[in-house]
Structure 1
Amino acid sequence: MRAILVDDERLALMQLRHMLEKMIGGVEVVGMYTNPSEVLESARELQPDVVFLDIHMPEINGLQLGSSLQQALPRTEIVFVTGYDQYAVNAFELYALDYVMKPIQQDRLHQTVKRLQHMLEKQENMEAGPVFVDMPPRVCCFNRISFQRPGQSPEPVKWRTSKAQELFAYMLHHREQFLARDTLAELLWPDFDGPRAAQQLYTTIYHIRQTLKNMGLEAVTIAGSGMEIGYTLSMGKARLDCEEWEEGVKALQALTEQNVQEHERMLGLYKGDYLGQLDYLWAENERERLRRIWLQQAERLSDFYAGQNSTEEAIRLYQRMQQLFPYEESGYFSLMKLFESQGNWNAVKELYALLLSKVGNDLESPISESITDWYNERSRQKA
């Protein structure tokens, strides 16, 4: 794959290039830039598969440059590389493929390259045309875990124990990664001594393998190391529904009257939070990241409807946003303005009271001044 590297430190660029080309392989660095102002024009000419982009640069914020790159080159993936973790949420809101912290670890960078390779293969398969035979099995993770065999509906999984379910979910969450035996044992059996925890882990791995076999999902495998000091879950040809959904959202073209139904369809494929019914704390970051992608897509679609004077459609989506994100002020505010434009002031007052209750009472935090000022000004006008 072809890559462009952007960092204001020349040494960091050279180190990253060495890791990608020599230590990991499969990557050709076609451009390196310490001046971010040169990147956009060069990227248009070079058409890279991926841009590795530092966020904290003196001349321009890397998030702004990443946004410009995505608009100019929607097929190019963005990987942010930085020493500042406070930018993580904003980076993923731009649909960045990955976010790698400095100092870069080879194993972590290798995971990123594997994801890139998978994305490129996916694009090539899509360009080759639809395939209707030999469809892969699917593991579904919206709300709860279920398995879907080709041509059939998703089936809930009957796990031998709750530990088997959580172990599979954790390994699926860290798919294609080596997980040390001690790490897994500490997560699931923290009160057991070493030998006893290891035996529980070994037995649970066996039960998971049997469950996969019984459900006809042999494509998903769990391989142990030679001395069984750890395990790796591999997806094989199986796919993950949340991963497919995210890829589908990223592939959407700019909203028009002609493709609005496809945007609606993708929004509807979000069947619930990632492992939402299982409520594992270690899944919370991914859960929130996917929720934010859904929220951004819903906001785009709602704004489009509002701009097309399709007020009822916009209200429908904002109400759905309010249900899924009861503490997100922007959804309430947009809905209040739509109701106000319809002359439905009672609905505005009810929403404002609900927002005060959610944010003020539940979170014990004042709502944004801009919303309060807007509401108070409209209230004076109505008096």
Structure 2
Amino acid sequence: MHAKPLLLLSLLLFFERECTASTANKFFVDQRPNILFLMVDDLGFNDVSWRDPRMQTPELEKLAFDKHTVLLNQSYVNQECSPTRSSFLTGIYPHHVGVQDGVFQIMEPSGVPTWFKFLPEDLKTLGYGTYIVGKWHLGYCNESYLPTSRGFDKHFGIYQAMADHYTHFSGPITRPMRELAGGSDFGLDFWYQNVAQWGYGDRYSTDIYVEKTKLFLEEHDKSDPFFLYLAFQAPHFPLQVPKKYTMNCKQKTEDRRLLCVVYNYAQPEIGADMFGGGSGAAVRVGKYKLIVGNPGYFNDWYEVDATDINWRNADSYKPQGPLDSKVFLFDLNADPTESNNLAEQLPEITEIMLELLKEIGRSAMPSVHVSQADLRGHPSNFNNTLASGWCNYVD
């Protein structure tokens, strides 16, 4: 790794793209830093050692409290994979990209429209080498949606939401899609330069991704800057980790112990000393309140985790009563638990905020998602892999 400054971004505050290519060129003309962006999938606000001492994340803590670090304490990401990733790579809010209402599913004939330029496309005009290791999840049914068609020189990893961390097989998440597809784990989703990788069975995904990250950087032309986007699968479910790490966590509940182990093992320093300095940032899911209608997808009650979310084992309970208002207004500084509805006390502010919300809705792009799975993409048609090349793309 050469002597250019390394800009390490663990999680990023996303803005709408305002600057032009000429502005970017002017900014970077004299000094182009190397950029290493780490995306941690499904890491909770309290699932780090400096917020919960029972969690063992020493490498993340080193980054969080480095003298050059900016530690962010607001919500800057969507609650799901595809909207967050599209925001990072386009610089545009999910509702302006058409991915605001969920994630791309297996056999879904859609992806982020190709008229949106991705970050690595801009960086390549500045002379950057561009690489992605890990999870993509922005559409795969047509090659035009794949990383190597969106500005990345090299890609190693998975196309879809999740895969077994050892077998690297994936399958539909929802029950209707599983029934339609004929199974839950039914297709290999492990790729290098759009070629299926069959030789990694029984090796843990984090180990492989760190190895490939080192390899990409070693092969990179040191006379040019690099942008490397490292998108770990862990701690996204399935919650799996090598057994030798399972004795280090002492949480009372089994799922919290398992999460602790996964978070500890998923850290960058496992197997390599790569991230010695730079600027890191953490993120909190907090004041993101632009929710209209039913906010539910996965509920965050304690003791409910992703592996058990669909079990019918909840106790019955009596409702406290009907909601007394269709509109809620909270002062989040004075009332962080959202217990005191101020909508009737402050009708003028309520009306202003409702109008702002309607304005946001009017500016939204229609969803690009397709709810019905397309069996042309069934892995049985592609040697049991989640291959591309079976749908038309939106240009």
- Higher CA-based Rg: 1
Structure with larger RCO (C-alpha < 8 A, sep 6+): 2
Question: TM-score range, shorter-chain basis?
Answer: under 0.3
**TM-score, length of structure 1 as denominator length:** 0.20
**TM-score, length of structure 2 as denominator length:** 0.20
